[in-house]
Structure 1
Amino acid sequence: MNITRENIDDLNAIVNVNIEKKDYSNKVDKILSDYRKTANIPGFRKGHVPMGMVKRQYGKAVLVDEVNKLLQDALTNYLVEEKLDVLGNPLPVEQDNFDWDTENYEFQFELGLAPQFDVDLKTKKAITHYQIEADEETINKQIQNIQKQYGKLIAKDTVEKGDMISATFTNEEHNINETASFETSRLKEKKGLKSFLGAKVGDTLELKAQDIFEDTHDLTTFLKVEHDAAHNLKDKLHIEIKEVNAQEPADLDQELFDKLFGKDVVKSVTELKTKLKEDAEQQFQQQSDQQLLNDVTEAIIEKNSFDLPAEFLQKWLRVTGEKELTEEEAKEEFEKSEKAIRYQLIEAKLINENNLQVTFDEVKDFAKDRVKAQMAQFGQMDPSDEDIENIAARVLSNQEETKRISEQLTSQKLLDFYKENAKLKAKKLNYEDFVKEVYK
């Protein structure tokens, strides 16, 4: 067997694989000999079928199968030995007059080669690294929500601002008959709220559907009508008030603190604010980190430009999917995936050159830590090492889960690397301003 490579340019090559009879004949003969021992052909005892008949019946199929196996193994080994970094998979070059009746065969494969490049992280413009703070207003809103969530509902007769109302909405023409509960804060200020304020339990109001709620989508939620129907509902609804409840906020006392965080973890309103701030900023940090990863990715793709074997990749996309694509479809698919391909190459280079590979021990330790945390949530604060090991082993027996953990750890290593090496500028802001700036 002889394998040679012809480099067309820096990104494309042709590999020639020449297979001679001596490369496959012994294997083919052995398989046919085994077939002869077990072949069940009418008129012949098992094991006594003439070899010529076996070759005529099975020889071509066995030959093709063994040559293809030999070809694939040889090509794979060649790419490894030559340390060729290829994109996609080798594509066989079609041969119109290929003849399996000869003894020696020549195959050709197109290769798309990964480009050679250096990664420069120093972008001209510094990338914003958001540091989201939980300000006093955010913490106070969270405390109000907690007090409301754990507070009491006190029944009353007359609707006042801030109350919770339970009412039945009906309209015979549109087959509406639904009971829903909602706060007065959802009502449209000048029409819906004005009509409800002062109304009593048992009263029936008549309001145009579009005049009730500030957000028309609430009609979809409370009346259980389709989205378009809610926007087009112009008729009046009969609204019978069933219940009115005032929301009495929970006291900020030790009973509430223990219910939220466990016994004596928080002992005062000051400690509550500190705890809420820490928890909120930990969650904000995850969003900030994800945004930084997204922004650095975009920046380094733009900063580090290099050519790809575009024609080869389009051909590869065209012929290797579940359904063969047209040339135009393959071109569109390549254009959609080009940025991702570039970043995969950049990411792989950064990982290899900076020893950012994730080891199995790291994956295992991550799984064990997660198991401990989950067990702690169910009150198992001191599980045995053996239990942790066994549960983590079951988790990692799922290949998809192992892959997900590995990708998560890789992202974290890359993020830490970017924080140390990319050109960043810190920007402090509260969460509301972060959302406005990032998501606009």
Structure 2
Amino acid sequence: MATVVRENLGQLHDKLTVKVSKEDYLPSFEKKLKDYSKTANIPGFRKGMVPAGMIKKMYGNSLFTDEILKSVEKELYTWLNKERPEIFGQPLPLASDLQNMDINNPADYEFGFEIGLKPEYTMADLAKAKLTMHKVDVTDAMVDEEISRMQIKGGKMTEPETVTNDENVLNLLFTEADKDGNVVEGGVSKENSVILKYFTAAVQKKFMDKKAGDVVTVQLSKAFEEDKLAMFLQDLGFDKDDKEAGKKYFNLEVVKVGLVEKRELNEEFFKEIYPAKEIKTTEELKASIKEEIEAYWLAQSKNQLQDQIYHYLVDETKMDFPAEFLKRWLQTSGEKEKTAEQADTEFPGFSNQLKWTLISDKLVHEQRLEVSNEELRDYMKIEIMRYFGTMNLGDDTSWIESYIDRMMKDEKQVDASYRRLITDKLFTWLEGQVKAKEKTVTPEELTAMQHHHHH
């Protein structure tokens, strides 16, 4: 009779030894042989008339091994379903010598498996979390800048003869040179478009009144502020952080001067921007845009607060893990096996992910957070509408429902949508559990904070 023996290997790390006797697997092995002899198609024999000895000789070894392993698996999962230990993933098989299985000498066999146990833990107290809600005040200047961007986007390109203001778009031929403008043989040469205001004030001045064919020689690091320099270094084929490349000189030959004629602020333009709204005046447009910008930055503020909550829970909740088991799991569970060194490198990030999974699963269960089919369908509909954007989808949108029906049959799609919605619900609940102090920051400051966003 098959048995399972459990023994401890270390912290949260156990071994299960599954023992099977020949009585556990021989009856099913012999039945398999008989079934094979009834169905095998072997030249020279009628179907169902193949001698059992020949079947045993041809297929016996693989059938014998299969039946033993099936008995072991059945016993292992019967034990797991009965005892219900809280384990990570699946049991990992320990090395076993399959060569010792002898069809001519059936015996009792033992197979070892290791399991990693989930830890018991006390979650960090959210009431003690010192968190800050970083808010952006939307200014008139931000609204005006957005309107100007829309006017340029909706405007038309003109081609004046000379450079007259910082909104001019210049088609420039960048040619590597020395500081006196002598071209470097075999150096970089590339055409690029640049809005004049991207240059530093000193270089902008040099371009004023220039026309096609005129050349201005610049040193890259002095032609662009640091944030723009990285972008242009990459465009020219250098590494964005290459300090030596920044010291290089280039001749900038004006190929063409352009200027976008801004779109006039009138009702026709307002209708294009907001087809669903009745906007008649510039003031109404500003109010509408301000509302949108405020909604955007409020969402960013919430994301950043959620990031703080995530880090507080992960960093302050103390948890033990079966490290050796999990590292072996990391090595063997993927499509491609990893080395021990790779598993060691990945383990800190991996254990943080596991920690968050345990915490979030527990909270979702305790707070009885759920996602209904209706919510899944609504979410998918929003995603479809976002994908098609402002395209005119016509009056008949019944196809959307059948499209959602298809999406609901796609397990991966449903799982991804569920995870997104349940995570949103969890963080909405978590936000309600913390008392965050408010602090006003600039858009740039909030964006910089989001570069450390991990959940």
Q: TM-score range, shorter-chain basis?
A: 0.7 to 0.9
CA distance in 1, matches of 2:386, 2:331: 46
Aligned residues of 2:4 and 2:79 also touching (Cα < 8 A): no
Superposition pairs of residues 15-54 of structure 1, within 5 angstroms: 15-40=16-41, 45-54=46-55
Structure 2 residue aligned with 1:231, among 208, 220, 245? 245
Note the C-alpha offset of 1:110. Answer: 1.4
- Indicate the residue corresponding to 2:154 in structure 1: 150
CA distance in 2, matches of 1:170, 1:365: 51
Q: Structure 1 residue 69 and structure 2 residue 83: aligned?
A: no
Structure 2 residue aligned with 1:205, among 215, 221, 228? 215
Deviates more, 1:152-161 or 1:406-415: 152-161
Structure 1 residue aligned with 2:285, among 264, 267, 272? 272
- Indicate the residue corresponding to 2:178 in structure 1: none
Aligned residues of 1:123 and 1:299 also touching (Cα < 8 A): no
CA distance in 2, matches of 1:263, 1:369: 17
CA distance in 1, matches of 2:119, 2:262: 63
For 1:66, the aligned partner's letter is: E
For 1:4, the aligned partner's letter is: V
Structure 1 residue aligned with 2:143, among 139, 154, 179? 139
CA distance in 1, matches of 2:251, 2:345: 51
CA distance in 2, matches of 1:234, 1:373: 44
Change (3 A) 1:177 1:2: closer
Superposition pairs of residues 347-426 of structure 1, within 5 angstroms: 347-371=360-384, 377-380=390-393, 383=396, 387-426=399-438
Aligned residues of 2:170 and 2:196 also touching (Cα < 8 A): no
CA distance in 1, matches of 2:253, 2:444: 36
Aligned residues of 2:173 and 2:252 also touching (Cα < 8 A): yes
Change (3 A) 1:107 1:357: farther
- Indicate the residue corresponding to 2:197 in structure 1: 185
Deviates more, 1:171-180 or 1:103-112: 171-180
Deviates more, 1:166-175 or 1:125-134: 166-175
Change (3 A) 1:265 1:74: farther
Equivalenced residues, count? 435
Note the C-alpha offset of 1:44. Answer: 5.0
Aligned residues of 2:381 and 2:400 also touching (Cα < 8 A): yes
- Indicate the residue corresponding to 2:207 in structure 1: 196
Structure 1 residue aligned with 2:262, among 249, 263, 268? 249
Note the C-alpha offset of 1:361. Answer: 4.3
Aligned residues of 2:306 and 2:431 also touching (Cα < 8 A): no
For 1:115, the aligned partner's letter is: P
Deviations 1:360-411 (A, max 9, x none): 4432332234445667833347546x53331102223333322221121121
Q: CA RMSD in A?
A: 3.4
Change (3 A) 1:301 1:235: closer
SS in 2 for 1:377: coil
Change (3 A) 1:67 1:195: same
For 1:312, the aligned partner's letter is: F
Aligned residues of 1:165 and 1:184 also touching (Cα < 8 A): yes
Change (3 A) 1:69 1:261: same
Q: Structure 1 residue 78 and structure 2 residue 79: aligned?
A: yes
Deviates more, 1:84-93 or 1:285-294: 285-294
SS in 1 for 2:90: strand
- Indicate the residue corresponding to 2:61 in structure 1: 60
For 2:414, the aligned partner's letter is: T
SS in 1 for 2:291: helix
Note the C-alpha offset of 1:179. Answer: 5.0
Determine what percentage of the aligned residue pairs are the same residue: 27
- Indicate the residue corresponding to 2:89 in structure 1: 88
CA distance in 1, matches of 2:436, 2:5: 44
Change (3 A) 1:233 1:22: same
SS in 2 for 1:18: strand
Structure 2 residue aligned with 1:117, among 104, 121, 127? 121
Aligned residues of 1:135 and 1:430 also touching (Cα < 8 A): no
CA distance in 1, matches of 2:43, 2:316: 72
Aligned residues of 1:372 and 1:388 also touching (Cα < 8 A): no
CA distance in 2, matches of 1:376, 1:320: 40
Aligned residues of 2:37 and 2:50 also touching (Cα < 8 A): yes
For 1:204, the aligned partner's letter is: D
For 1:136, the aligned partner's letter is: D
- Indicate the residue corresponding to 2:345 in structure 1: 332
CA distance in 2, matches of 1:401, 1:317: 26
CA distance in 2, matches of 1:115, 1:230: 52
SS in 2 for 1:89: coil
For 2:425, the aligned partner's letter is: K
Change (3 A) 1:241 1:52: closer
For 1:419, the aligned partner's letter is: E
Aligned residues of 1:318 and 1:327 also touching (Cα < 8 A): yes
Q: Structure 1 residue 126 and structure 2 residue 130: aligned?
A: yes
Note the C-alpha offset of 1:18. Answer: 2.9
SS in 2 for 1:87: coil
- Indicate the residue corresponding to 1:102 in structure 2: 106
For 1:315, the aligned partner's letter is: R
SS in 2 for 1:305: coil
Deviates more, 1:294-303 or 1:52-61: 52-61
Note the C-alpha offset of 1:7. Answer: 4.9
Note the C-alpha offset of 1:230. Answer: 9.6
TM-score between both structures, scaled by the size of structure 1: 0.84
Aligned residues of 1:24 and 1:67 also touching (Cα < 8 A): yes
Aligned residues of 1:123 and 1:423 also touching (Cα < 8 A): yes
Structure 1 residue aligned with 2:310, among 292, 297, 306? 297
CA distance in 2, matches of 1:166, 1:437: 34
Aligned residues of 1:164 and 1:181 also touching (Cα < 8 A): no
Note the C-alpha offset of 1:225. Answer: 4.7
Gapped regions of structure 2 (runs ≥ 5): 176-182
